[in-house]
Structure 1
């Protein structure tokens, strides 16, 4: 980019997103104040423990939450506000400009329809292709995501495919209409290391070919290190740290982020008996029905002080694009953490 060029406008902007689930006796504050911009061709990784709000945030962006959810804030796609949009608007956008790869392909794919039928439905609905042209395009998409013999696989059912193949079919459906934004919710969960690498290569290839912006939801910090441009760390529904991926791994500043990185198994970190040894974050995830006006991580944090329990820290800039929600960032000394890579997952699986 030259000095006279302006940076590309974000294709997706999320501002102060909140999601509350209203039950008969209580309200669950699942997402509280999430904001980010996503630019064309960029990969944003959203990380955190189970229950921290990663998937709920993305389901809110997709307009797929149940009626019990109350959504606040703003979500704009190409400048179009989506919070409060009509179902007709959502039907015109989902699968065309905004797509999602769901966590479990075996339950997300329809078991009684061929994979080709499930791909062509998207093409016929959004691009008005004939059945013949849609089938030809489906075969092209299966080839694009690395499925061998696509002309034969197009007529097979999900149960006839391996887990990795089913995940690739999910990707083919999601990118059928060249979406501007692709949300990938745990796309490599329960896959072995070799298949995982193949799925990540497919996503990176699609980003490079189509300029698709990707939101990658994952627990796997090795996947983040290999794939992401920027990282958003969430805890108890709140954003606690945002930074470029290299900056986050080199200088993790929130105690929770450091805890996540410290809990990754390192080559050679085994007990005398040969068992894997992991560091853990002490304590439990808080009850989301009782979000305090304080730091949610304070009860588990070794750096917590009185002000952490008396006021919620807002995101503030540490340097450049590195932002943190913490009254007392982890000490000035660099953490003893080695760079995380995909080999971490392989070490854990042994």
Structure 2
């Protein structure tokens, strides 16, 4: 039997650094099947930041783990994931091990559980360098010091001999970033890199990611539910709901004129500094549906006041919100009845809380205003 051999990554602007097409992921057990991801597609160009947003359980992290080849044996993956033009779906584990950490890397969601508590920081960073770059123990240690300095950890020569529990949450997250970028990967997946961090540390983490993409041209997939982070760091946004992509747009377009009712619900539920203290934050009614089955219909329809028989009877495709834009439109939504660019949003049932699509209503978030600067 001949093994599939993955060719070296070639960083070039002529093709996406990461291309996902019609990705589907399901998990099988003796009693049920869960369809966690259903037909998701996106591209990330070198030096670009794509934010993937949505409620917990919408498939953001599963999509990222599929790209890394880290899903359990119970997962069934369909579609295509191409890294620099090479197919990863179906590639042998031996070849994926050569790619992970070198050409595509991931910052995991919880650094305290992702870092090995019984190994020093220097040894954990050095393991990646020795595995993929063949450095000696001495050279790997020296390079580890440089990486810790790169991500902004003070006294790096001392920190490499410390253990994860001796570092703060922000420092542990920076160590995770140092491990992820040790081999200058073409693609970096950051899964909730700022969760549970205070705003000062959060700003530092985002600054590190920004400098990495500028210095290395790294493509970044930023998985988050924090729309403030999205407005500050992303170039484009992919909104997911119940395992499907429901809207994709440049960050400014999404915040200024989000078209899908779910997107507008997310934007309306963001706290706004200086807003009316007595105004109740709008919320999206209902619950995220069970993923045991994916209906041939709009999965958001049960929670959407704009839904009609068309929404409950057929599945909308991700299409251009402006008819004249064509198939290559940058702003697309999977909705039979998307909001118009200047349509007044008098329908409070969507939970968007905005008065107009121009982002000037009482529910407009500070994140949206920041994105428009």
* TM superposition score category, shorter chain reference: over 0.9
The answer to whether the Cα contact below 8 Å between 1:183 and 1:215 also exists between their aligned partners in 2 is: yes
1:250 touches 1:339 (CA, 8 Å); kept in 2?
Answer: no
Q: Name the SS for the 2:72 alignment partner.
A: coil
- 99 and 279 in structure 1: CA distance in 2 versus 1, 3 angstrom threshold: same
Q: Aligned equivalents of 2:47 and 2:164: distance in 1? A: 30
Q: Deviations over 1:255-308 (max 9, x none)?
A: 000000000011233544xxx842211100000002211000000001111100
Corresponding residue for residue 64 of structure 2: 58
Q: Does 2:118 match 1:112?
A: yes
Aligned equivalent of 2:264, options 251, 255, 258: 258
Matching of residue 308 in structure 1 with residue 314 in structure 2: no
2:298–2:311 Cα contact (<8 Å) kept: yes
> Is the aligned partner of 1:26 residue 2:32?
yes
Name structure 1 gaps, 5 residues minimum.
1-5, 345-350
Contact in 1 for aligned 2:235/2:251 (Cα 8 Å): yes
Q: Deviations over 1:108-157 (max 9, x none)?
A: 00000000000000000000001111000000000000000100111100
CA distance in 2, matches of 1:91, 1:62: 10
Q: Find the aligned partners of 1:151 and 1:292 in 2 and give their Cα distance.
A: 55
State the match for 2:6 in structure 1.
none
Once residues 10 and 233 of structure 1 are traced to their aligned partners in structure 2, the CA distance between those partners, rounded to angstroms, is 20
SS at match of 1:118: helix
Alignment of 1:1-350 (within 5 A): 8-269=14-275, 271-272=277-278, 277-318=280-321, 319=325, 320-331=329-340, 332-333=343-344, 334-335=356-357, 336=361, 337-338=363-364, 340-341=366-367
In the alignment, the residues of structure 1 paired with residue 367 and residue 310 of structure 2 have an alpha-carbon distance, to the nearest angstrom, of 36
Per the alignment, residue 9 of structure 2 pairs with none
Q: How many Å separate the matches in 1 of 2:13 and 2:63?
A: 26
Given the two structures, how large is their TM-score scaled by the length of structure 2?
A: 0.88
1:42/1:327 CA distance change after superposition, 3 Å: same
- Answer yes or no: is the 8 Å Cα contact 2:250–2:330 preserved in 1: yes
Is 1:265–1:277's contact at 8 Å kept on the other side of the alignment?
no
What is the CA distance between 1:25 and its match in structure 2?
1.4
1:317 Cα deviation (Å)? 1.1
Shift of 1:9: 1.2
From the superposition, tell whether residues 162 and 343 of structure 1 become closer, same or farther in structure 2 (CA, over 3 Å). Answer: farther
How many residues are aligned here?
Answer: 336
Cα distance change of structure 1 residues 74 and 126 upon mapping to structure 2, 3 Å threshold: same
Kept in 2, the 8 Å contact 1:269–1:277? The answer is no
Aligned partners of 1:209 and 1:339: how far apart in 2? Answer: 31
Structure 1 residue 26: deviation in Å?
1.3
SS of 2:367's equivalent in the other structure is: coil
Q: Give the 3-state SS of the residue equivalent to 2:66 in structure 1.
A: helix
Alignment gaps of 5+ in structure 2: 1-11, 345-355
Q: 1:43-79: CA deviations, max 9, x gaps?
A: 0000000000000000000000000000000001111
CA distance in 2, matches of 1:204, 1:169: 16
How far off its partner does 1:343 sit? Answer: 10
Pair 1:308–1:61, CA change in 2 (3 A): same
**Helix, strand or coil for the counterpart of 1:290?**
coil
Instruction: Output the TM-score relative to the length of structure 1.
Output: 0.93
CA contact (8 A) 1:204 1:227 kept: yes
Question: How far 1:342 moved relative to its partner?
Answer: 9.8
